[in-house]
Amino acid sequence: AVSYGCEKERSIELENVARFSIEEADPITITKDRSYFGALHSTVKKIGDVAVDSTGNVYMVDEYRKRIQVYNSSGLNIGSIGKAGGDPGEFLKPGKLTIGGNTLYAYDESLYRVNNYDLDRSVFEDFIQLNVADSLGVDSLQNTVPKQFYVMADGNYLVAFQKVNAPDDRSLHFYKVNTEGEVISDQLMTFKSKSLYIDNTMTNQVIMMLPYEKETLLATDSQNNIYTLNTEDFLIKVWDAEGKYLRAYEYPFQKRDLEESDVVEMFTNVFQRRAIRGAELPSEWPAVARFLVDDKDRFWVATITENLENYRWYVLENSGEVLGTFDFPRKSKIKTIQANYVYAVELNRRYYSEEVVKYIVEF
């Protein structure tokens, strides 16, 4: 047994742990798809989440205009979904996008509801209200708000309710919720949210997210499995839909030493830079920064290496075997992977706006 007892993903002696080496990982070729036009024909000041359907249509959250912009597989704008407002189908703060079958699920982080759109007809269908915890009599959900949602293969939702005792004491509590917005399970798992750092030593109080804080990342697949990865280690835990631990995949990894100057250089705000200098820094960076599951249920894991300008990504089979690796700029944020294409949000300096860039992946 291997002992990993961080959060409650539960403190347990891990059984059924398979270990894989990443030392001899094959190189993966990733090249920009020059035939994809991105956002060149439609300025998007700030892009939030991105989802791609089975035909290659791209749905991106336009945070400034509070709607979802729709592009075809060539990158040409073919319309939009929703608009700013508080009525059903509208948004105050559009967040995560998920596609399941012919339905687009769009979470509103301010209204705490999921708007559902029929992609075949491009129309709003209905919505599910998620901020019903206080009325359900679930003790552990009192004074919480829904923070994350995942569409499970069985049609229900996995919802993370966040409880905040203090900026540096925040926790996520995961429950299954049905399409009526009702909690239908006991607590499946809970773990700490990423802490916020507070600096009160200056005239201006600084509250910020530190780039080296560890956190637990969660993803789901098409088979109703749940995966968690605490960024401190390159270790993926597999759970069933009821929160029962099944197995784990471990990848021995040499973490990078953390230097204060490296962290300071990530910020331009003078108050944030001063706050970093006053923070108590760990000796090492976390092993992992990003964790995604693609449309083929493969894992995509971004690790932190010596070159802080890039992440070193590893692509893993759902069974844990290493498929390959590639380096990719940290500033280019990979949002989703569909049909061996990577979709990343990048700054278009010519148009002073953000665009989705499509990359071809060759194993």
Sheet containing strand 216-220, strands side by side: 17-19, 245-250, 235-239, 226-230, 216-220
pLDDT reported for residue 42: 61
Q: Are 130 and 113 in contact (CB under 8 A)?
A: yes
Domain match, 344 and 258 both: no
Domain match, 212 and 323 both: yes
Over residues 53-58, the mean pLDDT reads 96
**Would you say residue 84 has pLDDT above 50?**
yes
Dist. CA 104–CA 124, nearest whole Å: 9
Dihedral angle sign, alpha carbons of residues 4, 7, 12, 15? negative
**Would you say residue 125 has pLDDT above 70?**
yes
Domain match, 230 and 344 both: no
CA angle at 302 for the pair 297 and 307, rounded to the nearest 5°: 160
Q: How confident is the model at residue 202 (pLDDT cuts 50, 70, 90)?
A: confident
Q: Which two tokens stand for residue 122?
A: 């491009």
> What residue numbers bound the domain in which 312 lies?
1-32+206-330
pTM, two decimal places: 0.94
Over residues 330-347, the mean pLDDT reads 97
pLDDT reported for residue 360: 98
Tokens 């005792």 locate to 165
pLDDT reported for residue 3: 42
The three-class DSSP label of residue 29 is strand
Instruction: Please state the domain count of the chain.
Output: 3
- Percentage of the chain beyond pLDDT 90 is 83
pLDDT reported for residue 350: 84
pLDDT reported for residue 133: 63
Residue 116 has φ and ψ, to the nearest 5°, of -110, 130
pLDDT reported for residue 43: 60
Task: State which amino acid sits at residue 243.
Answer: G
Domain match, 156 and 169 both: yes
Over residues 193-217, the mean pLDDT reads 91
**Would you say residue 277 has pLDDT above 90?**
yes
Q: Is residue 245 part of a domain?
A: yes
pLDDT reported for residue 241: 97
Give the residue with greater pLDDT, 213 vs 7.
Answer: 213
**Would you say residue 41 has pLDDT above 60?**
no
Domain match, 25 and 110 both: no
Mean pLDDT of the chain: 92
Domain match, 223 and 324 both: yes
Domain match, 282 and 310 both: yes
Q: Are 144 and 135 in contact (CB under 8 A)?
A: no
Domain boundary among 142, 170, 193: 193
**Would you say residue 63 has pLDDT above 80?**
yes
Q: Which two tokens stand for residue 155?
A: 């049609």
